Amino acid sequence: MRAIAFVLFVFSTSFAFSAKVESISFEGLTITKETYLRKLISLNENDYFEEKLLQDDVFLLRNLNLFFSVEGIVKEVSQGLVAITFRIREASYLYPIISISGFKNQVKVQAGANHINFLGKAQSFGALYQFYDRHSFTVFHSSKRHSNNKTGHIAAISKLSTIEPLYSPADFNSMVDTVSFFNFDNYSISGTGYLWLKQYLNVGIGGAFMYENYHQRDNAFTDYSQMDFSFFKHQLSASLNFNKVENIYERQNGVKGTIYGEWINTYSENAPSFLKLLFDCTWNTLHGERGNLSTRTKFGLSTNNYSPFAPFVLDGLLNVRGIGNRVERGTASLVLNAEYRYSFWKHKFVTFQAAAFVDYGTLRNPGDNFDEFFPMSEQNIFTGVGIRANLNVLYKTCIRVDYSFNPTDVTQQGFTFGFGQFF
């Protein structure tokens, strides 16, 4: 599909500084509240017209992730007066969530519904069921920007249940031999509030209260006299978030990044409390009319507790395609991803992209020193190719299939599949 159109009449320098905005109107709105959009944009009636402000407003409206396209149109109505029209093509807003992803014998299924423009004010309200080894659910509500254009929030109630591999702290040098599988349940109530510092920059402060239960499914751990672990946790978190990514149908352009910190306090000796810091940055560039290069860097660090409950994990569905199901845990993590996508066939209903990618990940084992952070035996690199089917009739819907292999050990290979771009 064609890139989002942006129509703007170019005025002379003297006119641009002297023209006033007589009126601002919106075309194409059916569900979105016009009053909500008027509070978000920078331009106001009776203000002097500035081209940069119009460009910023068009970008902001596109970045709400509500519209297929946004045009900013300026028309001279009389000497020194202009009328501005935002011509908008709305997306469908009530979306079914149907997702199947996995590799080999490991399959993750999600089903639910999400209204991404609840009350016509860019709020998300939905419910999600997930089967990933076991049954989970989440009910959530969020608003990226409140009507005051200064704050936002997200809140959720969830139950997460999986079969979790943990590694015995008795012998970290042979983690594969000491793995044990647990039924894991996490019940949580969480909330985060956001304050917008600038148009693309906000800070978040949040918290959560959790109850966790681990039930050992085998007898691999002999270090503990009990087979079950149950404890309460509370979490305090803070983040600095920058997002200047423009979504142009199947392609993305721009940079987004997050600096995130959290403190987990656990009311149990079996799972120690810890501090966690994470830096996550994604950079997207356009190449020609069809190419798109995306790269991601994630670096995380936590309290170096000598425990099987390490917070970082390498997982084929999360960060390194093809590596397997939660194969390693650690107290520090470095993950690098690079992917080039090329839109080779476009139709009004679907756009197909070919992809080539490289994923790399490494962990610091619990209790290890930093000089052991990059042992050659612990390097995990996978490369491969894939295909993306982007459904243009539904907003930001992508079906993804990837084949990946480890170039240093070609026996490690396989397919992964899912919904949505990998990052």
pLDDT surpassing 60 at residue 201: yes
Class of domain 13-90: alpha beta
- Single-letter amino acid, residue 309: F
Which pLDDT score is estimated for 4? 39
| pLDDT tens-digit map of 266-319 | 988 778 899 999 999 999 999 999 999 999 999 999 999 888 788 999 988 889
135-149, 212-226, 327-341: lowest mean pLDDT where? Answer: 212-226
Strands (E), 291-422: 291-302, 312-314, 328-330, 332-346, 350-364, 380-391, 397-406, 409-419
Query: What is the rounded average pLDDT for all residues in the chain?
Result: 87
Q: Rounded CA gap, 417 and 423, in Å?
A: 13
β-bridge mates for residue 264, sequence order: 235, 274
Report the CATH number of the 94-419 domain. Answer: 2.40.160.50
Q: Rounded CA gap, 172 and 369, in Å?
A: 13
Which pLDDT score is estimated for 51? 93
Determine the length of the chain. Answer: 423
Nearest to 178 by CA among 188, 189, 168, 169: 168
Higher pLDDT, residue 1 or 383: 383
Which pLDDT score is estimated for 101? 73
Helix (H) or strand (E) holding 374, with range, is none
> Coil, helix or strand for 150?
coil
The backbone region for 122, taken as left when phi is positive above 0, alpha when psi lies in -120 to 50, beta otherwise, is left
> Coil, helix or strand for 55?
helix
Higher pLDDT, residue 1 or 190: 190
74-83, 237-246, 251-260, 390-399: lowest mean pLDDT where? Answer: 390-399
β-bridge mates for residue 254, sequence order: 245, 284
Task: State the Cα angle at 72 between 389 and 62, rounded to 5°.
Answer: 35
| pLDDT tens-digit map of 119-178 | 999 999 999 999 988 999 999 999 989 989 899 999 999 999 998 887 665 444 444 446
User: Tokens 């990933």 identify what position?
Assistant: 132
Average pLDDT over residues 222-248: 85
| pLDDT tens-digit map of 11-64 | 444 444 579 999 999 999 999 999 999 999 999 999 999 999 999 999 999 888
What is residue 236's DSSP assignment? E
2-11, 342-351, 353-362: lowest mean pLDDT where? Answer: 2-11
pLDDT surpassing 60 at residue 194: yes
> Coil, helix or strand for 78?
strand
Using CB atoms within 10 Å of the CB of residue 166, give its burial: 0 to 12 exposed, 13 to 18 middle, 19+ buried: buried
pLDDT surpassing 60 at residue 327: yes
How large a percentage of the chain has pLDDT more than 70?
88
pLDDT confidence band for 386 (50 / 70 / 90): very high
Instruction: Answer whether 13-90 and 94-419 agree in fold.
Output: no
pLDDT surpassing 90 at residue 108: no
* pTM recorded for the entire structure: 0.83
Q: Domain residues of the chain, as ranges?
A: 13-90, 94-419
Q: Rounded CA gap, 19 and 55, in Å?
A: 16
Which pLDDT score is estimated for 418? 79
